Structure formats: structure tokens, C-alpha cells
Amino acid sequence: MTDLFSPARFGAIDLANRVVMSSLTRNRAGAGNVPTPLIAEYYRQRASAGLILTEATPICAEGHGYPRTPGIHTAEQVAGWKAVTDAVHGAGGKIAVQLWHVGRISHPDLQPGGILPVAPSAIRPVGQVFTGQAMKDYVTPRALDLSEIPALIKTYAEAARNALDAGFDGVEIHAGNGYLLDQFLRSSTNQRTDGYGGSAEKRARLLLEVMDAVCKAIGPDRVGLRLSPVTPFNDISDDNPQDTFEYVVGQLNPFRLAFLDILQGTGGAPRETWLPFDYDRLRERYVGNLIRNNGYDFLTAQEAVTSGAADAIAFGRLMLANPDLVERFRRGAALNAPDYDRFYSGEEKGYTDYPVLQD
């Protein structure tokens, strides 16, 4: 019987088990948004997961929206990530980088030369962003010109090639959580009237062209995708998410991706407050490896895998606080509680200082 501890093969990536580390922004990068030895140690500690998905990693300078997030668009960043992948591989793990462009969820203070952030449409998100010195209101972004889109797609492909140069086993395209590709997908943020806006088919066009370019750059068996159909994070929504995301998932099958990662629900909110969505319909439509993500404990994760509802389960806060989560699950051991105050600051505190089981 297949269960959470069974090995798996996701495209070209062999997983020792079906416990996946979810992508978690931690804001610990060094100068120039370069991964540091501390980041390498953080991921090395969690190498017993079947697959690590790194923190969201900007594909270009314009893709940044938070301070101290490691990028993958300079030679120094690629070298920094190479030390991370070497550490994970040395501990027997597998690791894929999550490729990110924040779109409108940024601020001129975080953009090269103080330029405006870009988006599908010039719609200002509600809320504020931390610029590194202070919280500031979001600004009205600049709508991407049609002529700029080919270069953006090329940048995703270049970032994927950089990822393989850095030693990653694969990449995950971030198309969720209200960031750029999600902004194109959703009706609330995409009000374009050209070939990239309007119907669900047109709103999905950019994502599918990015997937095609990345798959051609590094091979589809090393490419995954993150979607978050009803997550309202970053002031985003869709008029008909069920139809939108069923269409998207149906279009993914010809790519034969390594995996599809579905973030269920609405962030850390209790399940009973999640917006309605039939995730089983996505499972029925998608023919490849499916990761379900958000709100799982050991028992619900085990049931999802043994029933075939998912091929693996991603854990965020539990993996953050328990570097040896797989072993704790095996033993039925107690779990460490996350240090919420140090999610985004504190250097080693709340990062690499969580205790592990002692034999």
C-alpha cells in the first residue's frame, strides 16, 4: 500500500518519501539577496523530506517585493544557491526552487531605480508592504505592455536554467498567492482587453506560455507548478474560480510536468472558514503527480495519500518547526511549536535552532 513513507518518482526526481517541505518566505538572504551559509544549514536540516520546495525566489530584480528574499538572477545568487543544493544533496535530500515574480505586490522602494511595480492591469492592491525600513501603502502598478511579455517569459526560462546551474533538482513556477502569474489568472486583477485578458482562456495564456518556455528550457520532468485557487492573499479573487482553475489544470496535462502543487483554502485559516472549492475535481482532471498543501496533520496526510487523493502532502509551519518531521511522524513523536515571532527575522533564532529528536 502506498502511504506517506513510500518512495515516489516525480518526473526526473526520486523522492524517498511523500512528505514535501512547502515554500516558506523567511527573509534571511544576505547582501545582494544572496543565499548565505545560514540558509544552507536551514535547508540541510530538513533534507529528510522527500522534496524541499524553497522559499519563493525572484527571477529578476523587478520580481522582488520583500526585503532579504534570495534571488536567482545574478551569478552571486546562483553561487549562493549552489552551496545550498550541495548541502541538501550531501544530506541525501532533493530540492526544487520556487520561481517568483511578485508583480504589483511590491513598492518603488524595492524596485531597481525606484520604478513602479508591474501588473496585468493598473489596479492598486489594498494594504501595505514592508520596504525594509517602514510599512508603506501599495502603489498603483504599471500595466505590462504587450510588447514586454515575450521578454518576461524569457526571464522565467533563464531563471530555470540558472536553477539547474545552481544544482537544483527542479523548479516550481509560483502562480499562486496573488503574485504576478496569479494576477493574470484572476478576474479581479486582470482587466486587460488584449489577448491576455477577458476569458479564462486568455487570462491563463501567460501562465501556459511561461510553462511551455520553462519546460523547453530544462525539460518538463523537472518542472512543477503552484496554484492557489481561492486564496485571497494580496487582495485577489476570481469571479468563477472553479471554472478558471479547472480550465488551467486541464491545459497542463500535455506538458507532463513533474508535479502540480495545489494550495488549498485560505492561508492559515481554519478549514471551516475556507472559501468553497471542489479540489477533487482538479484531481480528476490532472493526470500527473499531485501535491496537496495546507492544513494537514499526519493522520489527514496519510489518509490523503493512501486514498489516492494526493501523491504527496506539503507541510509548511510543521516542517519549519520540526526539521525532522518525517522521523517524528514515523515515531508518533510530539511536535515542536512554530516560533511565529521569528518567521521573518531573527537570523538563526526560529530558523536553525529548533530541537530534533534524540535517540
Catalytic residue selected from 66, 138, 156, 179:
179
Three-state secondary structure call for residue 77: helix
The type of residue at 93 is G
Q: Cα angle vertex 55, ends 281, 93, to 5°?
A: 90
Query: Which residues fall within 8 angstroms of residue 284, CB to CB, at 6 or more apart?
Result: none
- Pull the grid cell for residue 52: 524541499
Query: Backbone phi, then psi, for 133, in 5-degree steps?
Result: -120, -35
Phi, psi (degrees; rounded to nearest 5) at 159:
-65, -40
Three cell numbers written together for 51 = 522534496
Instruction: State the DSSP string of 173-193.
Output: EE--TTSHHHHHHSTTT----
179 is catalytic: yes
Within a 10 A sphere around the Cβ of 273, how many other Cβ atoms?
Answer: 8
| Closest of 283, 278, 243 to residue 260, by C-alpha | 283
Closest CA to 68 of 320, 358, 347: 347
Which residue, among 51, 263, 77, 295, has the nearest Cα to 177 in the 3D structure? 263
Non-local CB neighbours of 87 within 8 Å, separated by 6+ positions: 40, 41, 43, 44, 47
3-state secondary structure of 315: strand
CB 8 within 8 A of CB 312: yes
In the block, which residue shows the cell 529528536? 357
The answer for residues whose C-beta is within 8 angstroms of residue 56's C-beta and 6 or more apart is: 23, 25, 69, 98, 100, 174, 179
Residues with active-site annotation: 179
